[in-house]
Amino acid sequence: MIHCAKELDQPMPTTRSLSAVLDAAESSGKLNLRMEEIQAALPDVSTQALRQALHRQQRRGRLVRLSRGSGHWLIVPLRHAAVGAPPLETWLDRYLSKTLRIPYYVALLSAAEIYGASPYAVMVTQVMVAERRRPITVGRHELVFHTHARIEHMPTHWHETPDGRFKVSTPELTALDLVQREAMVGGMARVREVLRGLWANCTQAGFTQALDAAQNVPVAQRLGALLVLDDQTGLTMPVVRWLRDKPLRSGSLVGDLSLPRCRSVVLYRCRFQGTASG
């Protein structure tokens, strides 16, 4: 069953019980329910009685509320009862884009995992948003939010499955985000391990797009050094072109890697910075 982007636009028939509303919605492929939709389908039920009915269904595992005050409820089909919620593709975009009306994208190690580039099991879903938000838990899904000031300009793709879709950073933006936020994801050694699996998904055009969007010279320098260290010659040119005529910074470019600091800087200056200035 495909829960498409129109699912919240379909009106529900009026009825006399919340259970009947949930059954009718699920049978039509509609798992995301807004509070106003439920109230419209139960016009003769008082607000207090409806609140109590919702909490009973929540205790039974039939429903889950995405966050306090959002008015967004999620039906949990029987096949997903053990997890406590349907897959992220079913509800993440609906919740963030339609209910909260905020820009977002799945990022960092969660994005790398989607591209098959993370050698580790990712225990939480890392989501980039414009402003700070508290983590939320939906069934066994735990969402942790990070902030990006220029998020509306960031390049993204749709990650699509038969259950739905959500936005994910492009492979190239994923690389930039990982380099910028190395401390949040386990240090540069772990970042570099992930990047080795991500390079195959990256393109020169993709890096140009991501660099133009991010506008972060120090991160671009570190990315260039890591590309050189991994012998990714074909992907260095857009970074070289982007850094040309920009003020470059000196210092350690590879964080806590177990390499001599001077060697990494010399590698960068001789093979990369020298090309950029030539």
The residues near 151 (Cβ < 8 Å, ≥ 6 apart) are 103, 104, 105, 128, 129, 130
Q: What is the pLDDT of residue 142?
A: 96
One domain, residues 78 and 95: no
Nearest to 235 by CA among 220, 247, 246: 220
In a domain, 176, yes or no: yes
How far CA 52 is from CA of 20, 63, 67, 143, 194, in Å, comes to 16, 13, 17, 27, 47
Q: What is the pLDDT of residue 181?
A: 95
Q: What is the pLDDT of residues 144-179, one digit of tens each?
A: 999 998 999 999 999 999 999 999 999 999 999 999
One domain, residues 135 and 207: yes
Q: What is the pLDDT of residue 22?
A: 95
Q: What is the pLDDT of residue 270?
A: 39
In a domain, 59, yes or no: yes
Full strand arrangement of the beta sheet holding 72-75: 32-34, 72-75, 63-65
Low-confidence ranges of the chain (pLDDT < 70): 1-15, 250-278
Asked if residue 114 lies in contact with residue 106, where contact means CB atoms within 8 angstroms, the answer is yes
Beta bridge partners of 137: 142
CATH code for the domain of 48: 1.10.10.570
In a domain, 174, yes or no: yes
Asked if residue 139 lies in contact with residue 63, where contact means CB atoms within 8 angstroms, the answer is no
User: Tokens in use for 74?
Assistant: 């999620």
Dist CA 158 CA 160 (whole Å): 6
Quick one: 116 exposed, middle or buried, by C-beta within 10 A (0-12, 13-18, 19+)?
A: exposed
One domain, residues 113 and 58: no
Asked if residue 118 lies in contact with residue 194, where contact means CB atoms within 8 angstroms, the answer is yes
In a domain, 28, yes or no: yes
Give the total number of structural domains in the chain: 2
Q: What is the pLDDT of residue 160?
A: 97
One domain, residues 148 and 72: no
Which one of 61, 83, 105 terminates a domain? 83
Domain that holds residue 156: 90-277
One domain, residues 75 and 137: no
Which one of 59, 83, 107 terminates a domain? 83
